[in-house]
Amino acid sequence: MPEGHSVHRIARQFARHFVGKQTAVSSPQGRFAEGATLLDGHTMIDACAVGKQMFLEFDNHLWLRVHLGLYGAWDFAGDFTADASLTSARGRPGQTAERGTILDQDAAEDSLSSIGAPRRRRLRMSEQEELRDTEFSFPAAPVGAVRVRLLTRDTVADLRGPTACEVQTPEQVDASVAKLGPDPLVDDQALGEERFVSVIRKKPTPIGLLLMDQSVVSGIGNVYRAELLFRARLNPHTPGKLVPEEALRALWRDWCSLLAIGVRTGQMLTMDGLTPAAHRKALSHRKDRHWAYHRAGLPCRVCGTNIVLEELGGRKLYWCPIDQA
């Protein structure tokens, strides 16, 4: 399932290449036909993400809410700026690309805006970002079960397989956001920290489950959960109310830092203190990117004990029984 950094990056694609443009909205699959009719022909005026959910606002005071879930993905095509040095991802949906598109306009030489004029490209965005420079007529005919197509004069976005795709009023958007925990890229980080700490300190639920609860904190999924807990040396089974307050504050601040890195690089890069060579390697290969995630049976990078894999709340949990005892 796409984690918070991916959804923020998708929202930035929309903000850069769709906001301010009149948009033709359709549902080639037919399952979103009624909603498409409500949005069709209107101008997109905002695009934002909160945790794993994205909200697109149109000039008729309606919003499109999208939650990609386990299988959802956006396919972009048309004239949009992208990093020409991007290599194609060879992973399956659910994996991060081997390199990520840098979408931060303030990222100097890594900025998309530093590349120059927009180019005709194709890009798939879920946990996987795959860039393809190919010749194609614009707009290409929809392929497969496209739930919704958003088409401007020079860009197109096709949505497939989302868990949620619905039109909402401003009041409904407010209600949806109110159900979500703090997001470091949306909420004031100091206020978010207080809310995060306050909620968890009241819960008897294991911290490993609380971090995946989107009403407690927005955007954390399986990868970030495992890595945050390892970096904090926290046992995932510890009840939230028994985790020391300072440990919770450090956990929140670490999440703020890792999420920012994820949005900037397109990678869930959770190992720090790396040499330049090791950093390049980590950006290229997932196996060199994490402390614990997806390392079941392999030696802990700190103590050498084999990383444990178990199921917690229906999801795979990776942790070290020594360093996180």
Query: What's the pLDDT tens digit per position in 52-75?
Result: 999 999 999 999 999 999 889 999
- Residue extent(s) of CATH 3.20.190.10 domains in the chain: 4-177
Per-residue model confidence (pLDDT) at position 134: 55
> Which residue type sits at 27?
S
Round the average pLDDT of the chain to a whole number and report it.
Answer: 85
State residue 302 phi and psi, 5-degree precision: -105, -50
Name the E strands within 98-241: 119-125, 129-132, 146-151, 155-160, 164-168
Confidence of residue 140 (pLDDT cuts 50, 70, 90): confident
Per-residue model confidence (pLDDT) at position 281: 84
How far is residue 232's CA from residue 27's CA, in Å, rounded to a whole number?
45
Confidence of residue 127 (pLDDT cuts 50, 70, 90): low
Which residue has tokens 């807990």? 229
The yes-or-no verdict on residue 99 having pLDDT over 70 is no
How far is residue 65's CA from residue 49's CA, in Å, rounded to a whole number?
10
User: Does the structural domain 4-177 have CATH classification 3.40.30.10?
Assistant: no
What does pTM read for this prediction?
0.83
Per-residue model confidence (pLDDT) at position 125: 61
Model confidence pLDDT, tens digit, residues 171-211: 999 999 999 999 999 999 999 999 999 999 999 999 999 99
Q: Which of 2, 28, 206, 236 is catalytic?
A: 2
Model confidence pLDDT, tens digit, residues 25-42: 999 999 999 999 999 999
Nearest alpha-carbon partner for 56 in 101, 85, 23, 94: 23
Question: Is there a contact between 3 and 262 (Cβ–Cβ < 8 Å)?
Answer: yes
Per-residue model confidence (pLDDT) at position 131: 53
Confidence of residue 141 (pLDDT cuts 50, 70, 90): confident
Confidence of residue 87 (pLDDT cuts 50, 70, 90): very low
Per-residue model confidence (pLDDT) at position 124: 66
Q: What is the DSSP string of 240-288?
A: GGGS-HHHHHHHHHHHHHHHHHHHHHSS-----S--HHHHHHHHH-GGG
- Residue extent(s) of CATH 1.10.8.50 domains in the chain: 181-319
Model confidence pLDDT, tens digit, residues 212-223: 999 999 999 999
The yes-or-no verdict on residue 168 having pLDDT over 80 is yes
Per-residue model confidence (pLDDT) at position 255: 97
From 61-70, 130-139, 143-152, the region with the lowest mean pLDDT = 130-139
Give the list of residues 6+ apart from residue 25 with CB closer than 8 angstroms, or none.
Answer: 36, 39, 40, 41, 42, 148, 149, 150, 151
The reply to whether 287 belongs to the active site is: no
Question: Is there a contact between 50 and 56 (Cβ–Cβ < 8 Å)?
Answer: no
Confidence of residue 280 (pLDDT cuts 50, 70, 90): confident
Mean pLDDT value across residues 118-131: 56
Q: Which of 9, 12, 16, 52 is catalytic?
A: 52
The reply to whether 315 belongs to the active site is: yes
Strand, helix or coil for residue 200: helix
The yes-or-no verdict on residue 139 having pLDDT over 50 is yes
Per-residue model confidence (pLDDT) at position 227: 97
Strand, helix or coil for residue 138: coil
What CATH fold (topology level) applies to the domain 181-319?
Helicase, Ruva Protein; domain 3 (1.10.8)
Pairing of strands 315-319, 53-58: unpaired
The yes-or-no verdict on residue 80 having pLDDT over 70 is no
Which position has the higher pLDDT, 106 or 152? 152
The yes-or-no verdict on residue 15 having pLDDT over 90 is yes
How far is residue 263's CA from residue 258's CA, in Å, rounded to a whole number?
9
Question: Is there a contact between 121 and 133 (Cβ–Cβ < 8 Å)?
Answer: yes
The yes-or-no verdict on residue 48 having pLDDT over 80 is yes
State residue 324 phi and psi, 5-degree precision: -115, 25
153 exposed, middle or buried (CB, 10 Å; 0-12, 13-18, 19+)? Answer: exposed
